[in-house]
Structure 1
């Protein structure tokens, strides 16, 4: 995929194709795309979900004037789904106006580290 401004549009178009594909709708994995638009599947364990929930609870407790979102898709070098995000009310408005998936990221994006990717995968995200 190109790395120009149109690359984000291409990633968004590819993401819409993936979301609309009935064969992919019930996969038990976190689904993302890489910079080439290829599907990347990440199987999750229950412990991963427990940590996501703990982060959601903590963000709800310490933040105000915004919203917490699980698995928020964000367009960048592909489409990544941050495990848990927080966005202010004004940022939510920006995100809603920036296509789907959004090209505007929430102010807080968190990832639960699991699996073989480790720190290399975290730095890429």
Structure 2
């Protein structure tokens, strides 16, 4: 137990994750990796392979739809967002200019975009997706969407995070299905 007492306690997890992400982002070796890099609550690096064609195609189509239907903000892919469980890469996001000004710290958003979209991969588990949904809402997202393996979109709103709704509140004309 004495060895544990010698390890300092993290008092400010937000500052810890921002500092750790700056280290990860500055590492030239990690920039050579073709897939996604995230961190977890302990600052450990998580590496995922690049997505397959259907995943990438759905990301692109969702981003296009958001850019077309919500012209007042920015549509992004692989957006780094600070959460209580480290820095996560949101597959697709839509964020207003005001939120960018308030939340962008270096290379990471400290406030989640208004819309965070996860395109489900074959390796994803229900628990993982529910955890990401909760983390994005906790970080300030207004909506979290899932695009399933058949391209169907599933919408969740901050006020009823556990209950799927029929349509987005911010982008109600978003198609319910995305082609790969």
| Distance in 2 of aligned mates of 1:99 and 1:9 | 13
What TM-score do the two structures reach when normalised by structure 1? 0.88
Aligned to 2:35: 29
TM-score when scaled to structure 2?
Answer: 0.63
Q: Any residues of structure 2 matched to 1:42-121 within 5 Å, and which?
A: 42-43=48-49, 44-76=51-83, 77-96=85-104, 98=105, 100-121=107-128
Tell me which residue corresponds to 1:13.
19
Is 2:130 the counterpart of 1:123? yes
Gaps of 5+ in 1: none
Point out which structure has higher relative CO (alpha carbons under 8 A, 6+ apart). 1
Gaps in structure 2 of 5+ consecutive residues: 1-7, 133-180
Residue-pair matches, total: 123
Which protein shows a greater Rg?
A: 2
Q: C-alpha distance in 2, partners of 1:25/1:100?
A: 13
- Contact 2:10–2:16 (Cα < 8 Å) also in 1: no
Separation of aligned partners in 2, 1:87 and 1:116: 27
Cα distance change on mapping 1:60 and 1:47 into 2, 3 Å: same
| Partner Cα distance (2:37, 2:65) in 1 | 25
Specify the alignment match of 1:40 in structure 2.
Answer: 46
Contact preservation (8 Å) 1:82, 1:110: yes
Q: Any conservation in 1 of the 2:80–2:109 contact (CA below 8 Å)? A: yes
Deviations 1:74-121 (A, max 9, x none): 11110001011101121121123x454221111001111103222211
1 CA distance for matches of 2:63 and 2:122? 21
